[in-house]
Amino acid sequence: MSALDQLHTKISDGSAVVGIYGLGYVGLPLALRFAEVGIRVIGFDIDDSKVQALNAGRSYIERLGDELIASARKAGFEATGDFSRSTEADALIICVPTPLNTHHEPDLSFVIDTTEAILPYFREGQLLSLESTTWPGTTEEELAPRLERCGFKAGSNCALVFSPEREDPGNAHYDTRTIPKVIGGMTPRCLELGQAIYGHAINTLVPVSSPRAAEMTKLLENIHRAVNIGLVNEMKIVSDKMGIDIHEVIRAAATKPFGFVPYTPGPGLGGHCIPIDPFYLTWKAKEYGVNTRFIELAGEINHYMPHWVVEKVADALNSQKKAVNGSRVLILGLAYKKNIDDTRESPAVEIMSLLEQRGALVAYSDPHVPTFPRKRDYSFDLDSVQLSGGNIQEFDCVVLATDHDLFDYEALARHSRLLVDTRGRYAPSRAANIIPA
């Protein structure tokens, strides 16, 4: 029996071991899902604090409670930073970040470093799956050659697939199990094995012809959102200049039963995917002599939105004969979207930084983020402010950046001297102290 036949047998009878590399917002839910269906999972992460927390039954992601970790531990899940244990796994799934560098170019260092850490322990009969969002061709041009240099040929003595993550934190209607999963294999046999392992954990699988097609699918999904959000953000700026409530316009347009999909404007783009992924395609497209001007323009608009919000704050303070410099400004919501604790690429953080650069004394309140997290580009030694009528009044301006449901919006409107609303929560308010942004 060949190595891949043995792998297929293990996957079919449920004895295959899954290794998940990167136990963050993508990797940890996937690990818990495999554990839930009785698959033994080894989680790998270079952050020792995460490893210790998980092995002690503690979660560090709000929506994944300790009880889920404890249940997975009982099912055999364990976390480790020891990559030599990769040889124990049959299916190895990489779920690490793919950020941009300072020049807005793809940074694949996490993917490459993880792959290089696995290779000394890789063996025949293993499946390697990349879930990290990246440019079309990454699996074939970066991962496959590294495997081949070590004597592994996809479809012959190992399997290689790309299956992009599709996570939507805070969405109560879909989870890891119910979100359809796209898979592209280097060969038909690779695709067959990829479908077999993911089929244990995911209800619906969507096979495509190649890893490139799967990689492009993920980019299209996120670029679609980025471009449409850029459009509605630009419409918001124009509407504001014309004295028109953009939220009223969107509600009216959404009554059209065909040809229109409503998108909501905001203070900018957040999360790990939508602000970053479009630039993976613009970078790769240049190799083919294509300039993705439409995508880049949307990126420029969305990147500008935190600056737009800061100008609205400055105008609001100026109307009270105050400068930004020296004013106390409270940012409501640090997470990039409502009702979650994920602050990756959050426009709220950029707004804080821009205000601080202009001399404002900034603070934040977020019931889901008690302490400002460690970040590469930002450093605030702050804890979340517990809101009350008295301390709201102490701030010269309050900025609603993320509209968590836990905020008391009536009290905020009543006690705020100025409230800059970037989410349309108060539209169409005519209160003098509420400024749409």
* Surface-to-core class of residue 422, CB atoms within 10 Å of its CB (0-12 exposed, 13-18 middle, 19+ buried): buried
Catalytic residue set? 273
Question: What structural domains and CATH numbers belong to the chain?
Answer: 3-209 (3.40.50.720), 246-436 (3.40.50.720)
Low-confidence ranges of the chain (pLDDT < 50): none
Distance CA 347, CA 42 (A): 34
369 in Cβ contact with 341 (< 8 Å):
yes
Q: What are phi and psi of 153, to 5 degrees?
A: -120, 120
pLDDT computed for residue 29 by the predictor: 96
Residues paired with 129 in a beta bridge: 93, 161
Peptide bond into 275 cis (omega under 30): no
Residues paired with 332 in a beta bridge: 365, 400
Distance CA 433, CA 437 (A): 13
214 in Cβ contact with 163 (< 8 Å):
yes
pLDDT computed for residue 175 by the predictor: 92
Residues paired with 93 in a beta bridge: 20, 129
| Average pLDDT, rounded, for the chain | 95
Q: What are phi and psi of 71, to 5 degrees?
A: -65, -40
Question: Which DSSP letter does residue 267 get?
Answer: S
Tokens 């709000």 sit on residue = 62
Nearest to 45 by CA among 13, 19, 80: 80
Tokens standing for 414?
């009543």
C-alpha separations of 94 from 18, 24, 37, 216, 349 in Å: 11, 11, 20, 18, 28
Tokens standing for 237?
């700026």
Distance CA 104, CA 111 (A): 17
pLDDT computed for residue 312 by the predictor: 97
Tokens 């109560």 sit on residue = 172
Q: Would you say how long the chain is, in residues?
A: 437
Residues paired with 328 in a beta bridge: 361
pLDDT computed for residue 126 by the predictor: 98
pTM score of the predicted model: 0.93
Q: pLDDT digits over 272-322, tens only?
A: 788 888 899 999 999 999 999 999 999 999 999 999 999 999 999 999 999
Tokens standing for 93?
């799934």
Distance CA 156, CA 168 (A): 35
pLDDT computed for residue 277 by the predictor: 87
